[in-house]
């Protein structure tokens, strides 16, 4: 099948090309993200493959349909950037990669957390300047702390297991509670206000939906234990950024580790070192010494990239063969 892959980097091309040896699709890679201004590049392609920050609104989907596109094969789990109702009206099928390597994202959450609380990023920079002093580098043990996991899907469950391995008391919050899972870990499900009030660390592992949008806002931040550490490796829109900045300014938060950002589209995955950031909120976040930001790289492991590529191309193959699409998304 003829497939146009958008928002590609070298690691995408390597993983997809390796997986395509088994499938034999005709793949063309495009560097730009897929949106209304770039949709014309997909003319003549039966399928397009966007990434998480592409924007497939009604106008973009209309252009794609006019160009002959029948399948949108998203190579990510989240699909909030696609107008599913418009796709359905145009007779277009949308598929995704619902799970790839939950370990990749969960482990990255703890990489950020450990870096933040043990200040290893600051120590690394000091030593490179021949500064071997330890002043200002005091951290704290994870052992014995209460770690709240909001969202206990595949990634959240892996994160909970890792937290248990560190000797944390684990609180869980999810509309779909699983008492058997909690019992395995000696963890507890509770309501969000209780989790926020008791947790020393709060880690977000849930999708972005209308219900979860700005779940972390001024009100929920006020419920948190003073000095709480907040980790988000899920979706940027889960956090109200102005409310987060306000809480940081008044010293309510002990630290924030982010792999995602609400307005990351057009910023993340690109090099702005020569021009600086035009986004005032993101620029402000980078000035706090207790804020650590990575550029949506939680998925970036060899294992996860291979899984994403395999599932994406298998979705395309199944569509071309007229088979049942187990990863289809409906509105």
Q: How far apart are CA 36 and CA 54, in angstroms?
A: 10
The residues annotated with a catalytic role in the active site are 235, 264, 296
Give yes or no for a contact between 45 and 68, defined as CB atoms under 8 angstroms apart: yes
Q: What is the mean pLDDT of the chain?
A: 96
Task: Select the more confidently predicted residue: 267 or 294.
Answer: 294
2-100+301-320 and 102-293 agree in CATH topology: yes
Output the pLDDT for position 307: 95
pLDDT at 331 over 80: no
Output the pLDDT for position 276: 87
Output the pLDDT for position 282: 96
How many residues belong to the chain?
331
Q: Which CATH architecture has domain 2-100+301-320?
A: 3-Layer(aba) Sandwich (3.40)
Q: How far apart are CA 184 and CA 27, in angstroms?
A: 45
Band of pLDDT at residue 330, cut at 50, 70 and 90:
confident
Strand partners, 232: 204, 258
**DSSP assignments along 129-176, one per residue:** TT----TT-----STT-EEEEE--SHHHHHHHHHHHHTT-EEEEE-SS
pTM: 0.90
Output the pLDDT for position 156: 97
Q: How far apart are CA 51 and CA 74, in angstroms?
A: 6
Which of 172, 163, 179 has its CA nearest to residue 198?
Answer: 172
Output the pLDDT for position 230: 98
Question: According to the CATH classification, is domain 102-293 in 3.40.50.720?
Answer: yes
Task: Break the chain into its structural domains and give their ranges.
Answer: 2-100+301-320, 102-293
Q: Average pLDDT, stretch 168-183?
A: 97
Band of pLDDT at residue 127, cut at 50, 70 and 90:
very high
pLDDT at 135 over 80: yes
Band of pLDDT at residue 194, cut at 50, 70 and 90:
very high
Q: How far apart are CA 201 and CA 122, in angstroms?
A: 21
Percentage of the chain lying above the pLDDT 90 cut: 92
Output the pLDDT for position 227: 97
Output the pLDDT for position 78: 83
Task: Select the more confidently predicted residue: 81 or 68.
Answer: 68
- Read off the pLDDT of residues 270-301 as tens digits, 9 standing for 90 and up: 889 888 899 999 999 999 999 999 999 999 99
Band of pLDDT at residue 101, cut at 50, 70 and 90:
confident
For residue 328, the SS3 value is strand
pLDDT at 40 over 90: yes
């Amino acid at each position: 099948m003829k497939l146009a892959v958008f928002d590609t980097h070298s690691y995408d091309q390597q993983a997809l090309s390796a997986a395509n040896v088994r499938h034999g699709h005709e793949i063309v890679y495009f560097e730009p993200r897929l949106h209304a201004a770039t949709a014309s590049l997909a003319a003549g392609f039966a399928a397009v493959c966007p990434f998480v920050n592409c924007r497939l609104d009604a106008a973009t989907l209309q252009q794609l349909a006019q160009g002959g596109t029948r399948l949108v094969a998203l190579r990510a789990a989240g699909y909030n950037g696609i107008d599913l109702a418009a796709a359905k009206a145009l007779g277009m099928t949308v598929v995704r990669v619902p799970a790839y390597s939950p370990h990749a994202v969960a482990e990255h959450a703890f990489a950020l957390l450990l870096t933040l609380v043990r200040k290893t990023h600051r120590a690394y920079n000091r030593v490179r300047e021949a500064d071997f002093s330890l002043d200002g580098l005091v951290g704290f043990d994870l052992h014995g702390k209460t770690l709240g996991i909001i969202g206990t899907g595949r990634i959240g469950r892996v994160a909970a297991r890792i937290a248990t391995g560190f000797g944390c008391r684990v609180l869980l919050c999810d509309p779909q509670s699983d008492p058997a899972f909690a019992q395995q870990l000696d963890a507890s499900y509770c309501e969000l206000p209780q989790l926020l009030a008791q947790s020393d660390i709060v880690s977000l592992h849930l999708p972005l939906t209308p219900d979860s949008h700005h779940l972390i806002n001024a009100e929920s931040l006020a419920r948190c234990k003073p000095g709480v550490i907040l980790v988000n490796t899920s979706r940027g829109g889960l956090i109200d950024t102005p409310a987060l900045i306000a809480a940081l300014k008044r010293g309510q938060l002990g630290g924030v580790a982010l792999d995602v950002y609400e307005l990351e589209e057009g910023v993340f995955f690109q090099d702005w070192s020569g021009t600086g950031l035009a986004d005032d909120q993101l620029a402000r976040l980078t000035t706090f010494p207790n804020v650590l930001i990575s550029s949506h790289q939680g998925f970036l492991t060899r294992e996860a990239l291979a899984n994403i590529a395999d599932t994406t191309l298998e979705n395309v193959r199944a569509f071309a063969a007229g088979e049942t699409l187990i990863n289809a998304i409906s509105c």
